[in-house]
A and B are shown apart, each in its own frame.
Chain A
Amino acid sequence: MSFTTFIQHCLTGISLGGAYALIAVGYTMVYGILRLINFAHGDIFMMAGYFMIFAMVSLPWAVAIPVVIIATVILGVAIERVAYKPLRTAPRMSIMISAIGVSYLLQNLATYLFTALPKAYPTIPLLKKIFQIGDISASLVTFITPVLTIALVIGLVMMINHTKIGMAMRAVSKDFETSQLMGIKINTVISMTFIIGSALAAVGSILYFTDRMSVTPFSGTLPGLKCFVAAVLGGIGSIPGAVVGGFIIGICETALVALGYSTFSDAFTFVLLIIMLLFKPTGLFGEKIIDKV
């Protein structure tokens, strides 16, 4: 492999990792607060892809992007309200099944509304502009993704550490019941979590699909699972962890494809997950929890 191709693959990997990182943050935040694997998150991401297709039909891209983000946020919050809120006191398994149910529903709804055939993703001319540095050529999106990811995550971490709602979020993730007793409006905090998670998923979806160029009702499933793995890898509940996890998975996946093992690239993510759970179940940045007896 020549040096140029190597750099080319590195860029692709980092870019893919950035998109994964944005989605992984959504998983890690919801898990941190509700202790729920939001199986529907990957499908929210997929729906954001379809929203973009329809928004771009009649709107210029600069308007379409905020519209897509808002629509995705509404979808995410609505799902929380309808499918998770009524089950707050139910056993963990019920909520997880509800999440799987929502994922199933979104996939079937997308199949019904948009058919199972891949739909072409609109090109945003600016993002697709090709840059040429020496022998290496890449579209702008490849460069924007990691930068945007890092910027968004830094903003998010600042928000969590320095604002009132951020403090409420930290409190809820430490102890759900006590923070309720302290007068924190749990539902507001949870909604906020879903708003942030969905907005990031929408941004991630724009970056991811711009590279992939088509959307199907099932294109959210695997990236969704991979991003959850990324969140676990980084230590579930930790936002920087999720970002690092996202980049690791994105880069490893690209490396495997580059080396010609593309059939194993999906499976590899899970191998990574299992190795991690075996040796450091709390992830790279997770805290250790001791069970009380």
Chain B
Amino acid sequence: MKKSVKWILNVVMIALVVLLLIFLENNKSDQGMLISVLQKGAILAIVAVAMNLLNGFTGLFSLGQAGFMAIGAYTTAIFLIPVAAVDGVYYMNGINPGIKAFKEVIETAPSWLQACYPYLALIVGGVFAALFAALIGIPVLRLKSDYLAIATLGFSEIIRALLSSPQFDTITNGSYGLNKIPGFSNLLIPFIIAGVCILLMILLIHSTYGRAFKAIREDEIAAEAMGINLFKHKEMSFVISSFFTGVAGGMLAMFMRSIEAKTFSIALTYDILLIIVIGGIGSVTGSVLGAFLVTASKEWWLRFFDQPQTIFGWEVPLFRTGFRMVIFSILLMVVVLFYRRGLMGTNEFSWDGIWNFIKKPFTKKKTAKGGAAQ
């Protein structure tokens, strides 16, 4: 396929997505479910790609995603809760006076700064997650794969315990969680942020550093013999991945409007793992696709499994609360056991791929005919 054709197709696709989003933005009330699925999908897509950067491209099996999301989410939430709502949110223990004073200063800031403020909060959330990752990366990244998994999982639990501990009540509001977090003003915004984040990660993966990551994934000893400093590159991948995970955590806080430490339990990490397994470990487009598919089926398409259904007066057995998640986990096991490569394997979406896929049945026929003629 020609390069120019591909360009046109790309532009058309992006335009279609933007038009769809604008349409949805103007019909918010009718399409509530679709909108919320798309937003959540976009947010999880960032986390999934970030996790894939670690697990699929650097070969580090890390299970700390929920913890880094929690850092991002709490940071962003603390920055964004408006002064007027503060007393209501922290009704139990009151808010740290320093934070309140900071918020009051921000209220009086010039309007351009106020417009940027949510984005800055997201970035700060990401930076905090990245800093924390840098700190724990020093001991943890020297460990072998399965110890790394359990240690990162452990850290994510430690973060959760710290966030809900009474000692930090005036900052994190302890076990009461945070609410009244301002949301996105426009449906397009989470998509633009997600697009930028994922694009940055794609650029990184295709850069010389991305190649070094892949070398580490393939063979650590050989990579080291090629002059690649293992610790430095693993730490880099870990910190960058955590930054984007933190940003996505902040976005999740803005999307959900209220968060508590429980939101960021191990189950959240498993959900994201599920996305990258279904999408294909080592494929960015697979992760993005997986994020939307998993979110849509979980929150929307498979909802009917949770309700008792009657078809022609016959009540379908088994359909009640929780059945959806059972189906979902069986689906995951089927993918893990029989389609280990997931949807995309390590391949990426490309127009050539689609074109070949469409062409395939026809070319097959041709050769079959040729064979018959002989």
Contact = CB atoms under 8 A, between A and B. Distances in A.
- Asked if A and B bind, the verdict is yes
Contacts of A86: 337
Interface stretch (A63-71, A168-176, A206-214, A221-229): A221-229
Contacts of A101: 274, 277, 329, 332-333, 336
B143 to A, nearest CB: 6
A105 B158 contact: no
B273 A93 contact: no
Interface in B129-173: 139-140, 143, 145-147, 149-151, 153-155, 157-158, 160-162, 164-166
Contacts of B273: 97, 100
B336 to A, nearest CB: 5
A228 B149 CA distance: 12
B101 interface: no
Nearest to A87: B337
Contact of B151 (A35, A83, A113, A274): A274
B266 A221 contact: yes
B120 interface: no
Contacts of B147: 232, 277, 281
A25 interface: no
A139 interface: no
B189 interface: no
Contacts of A96: 61, 146, 149
B119 interface: no
A108 interface: yes
Interface string A93-107: 110111011111101
Interface string B210-251: 000000000001000000000000000000000000000000
A83 B333 contact: yes
Interface in B53-72: 55, 61
Nearest to B147: A277
B281 interface: yes
A71 B12 CA distance: 58
B117 interface: no
Interface in A208-261: 221-222, 225, 228-229, 232
B325 A277 contact: no
Interface string B303-347: 000000000000000001111011011101100110010000000
Contacts of A37: 146, 149-150
Interface stretch (A4-12, A13-21, A188-196, A263-271): A263-271
A93 B325 contact: no
Contacts of A112: 320-323, 325-326
Interface in B7-61: 55, 61
A266 to B, nearest CB: 6
A281 B140 CA distance: 11
B154 A225 contact: yes
Interface string A262-293: 01101101110110011001000000000101
B208 to A, nearest CB: 25
A93 B61 contact: yes
A50 B165 CA distance: 31
Contacts of A228: 150
Contacts of B55: 93
Contacts of B329: 101, 104-105, 108-109
B150 A111 contact: no
A75 to B, nearest CB: 15
B270 interface: yes
Contact of A83 (B140, B320, B321, B337): B337
B51 to A, nearest CB: 12
A98 B336 CA distance: 6
Contacts of B164: 263
A253 to B, nearest CB: 13
Contact of B146 (A92, A221, A266, A291): A92
Nearest to B276: A97
Interface string B339-371: 010000000000000000000000000000000
Interface of B: 55, 61, 139-140, 143, 145-147, 149-151, 153-155, 157-158, 160-162, 164-166, 221, 266-267, 270, 273-274, 277, 281, 320-323, 325-326, 328-330, 332-333, 336-337, 340
14 contacts: A87-B337, A100-B270, A104-B329, A104-B332, A105-B332, A108-B322, A225-B157, A263-B161, A267-B157, A267-B160, A273-B154, A274-B139, A291-B221, A293-B221
Across the A-B interface, the 6 shortest Cβ-Cβ residue pairs:
A270-B154, A112-B322, A267-B161, A105-B329, A108-B325, A267-B158
Interface of A: 35-37, 82-83, 86-87, 90, 92-94, 96-98, 100-105, 107-109, 111-113, 115-116, 221-222, 225, 228-229, 232, 263-264, 266-267, 269-271, 273-274, 277-278, 281, 291, 293
Given A93-B145, A112-B323, A225-B154, 6 more contacts: A37-B150, A104-B332, A107-B267, A115-B321, A267-B157, A267-B160
